[in-house]
Amino acid sequence: MDTDFLSLLQDEQDPYFEEAKDAIEKVIESKKNLVGSTTWNKFKKMLESCSILESEAIKPMIKAVKCQACRRKQRNLTQHIMFFSADCNGVKELPLKMEFSVGCFCAERGSLYHDLHHHNSQLKQSCAEKVALPAMK
Ligand SMILES: [Zn+2]
């Protein structure tokens, strides 16, 4: 990032950047709505609360059972999606490790949703940090 851009970003009154930021957030939110599923309940909560997600292929796949993300029946489960309590915020009574056995759609969409959600907050965080730095001089 060049320093001109950063110094422009620091000008919080500049409506140009406010608008750009809002536009980016809107795009990310709408993409999240597209990839997310209304059938996700606890799974969505975990995707949003936990910054790190790990996945592992289930081999051989588990055939025709209930997906633990969307809770629909008769899915072929192909991935374990794991969250670790150390990476999670604001989820009460969380076991050390939480695991979902999910079908391929929920696995792909879940990981995309996770990226979108955390990209947004990481971007906000890193901009906020960069903007805050000069003020501490
Ligand atoms: Zn599913």
Could you read off the pLDDT of 21-37 as tens digits, one per residue?
888 889 889 999 999 99
Confidence of residue 18 (pLDDT cuts 50, 70, 90): confident
Give the H/E segment covering residue 99: strand 97-103
Q: List pLDDT tens digits, range 6-15.
A: 666 665 567 7
Q: Which two tokens stand for residue 84?
A: 């670790």
Which residues have CB less than 5 Å away from ligand 1 (the ion)? 67, 69-70, 103, 106
User: What distance in angstroms lies between residue 71's CA and the mean position of ligand 1's atoms?
Assistant: 6
> What is the CA(63)–ligand 1 centre distance, in A?
13
- Which one, of 28, 40, 42, lies nearest residue 115 by Cα? 28
Q: How many CB atoms lie within 10 A of CB 113?
A: 24
Which distant-in-sequence residues (6+ apart) come within 8 Å of 20 by Cβ?
A: none
Chain mean pLDDT for the chain = 86
Query: How far away, in angstroms, is 108 Cα from ligand 1 center?
Result: 10
The domain segmentation of the chain, as residue ranges, is 3-135
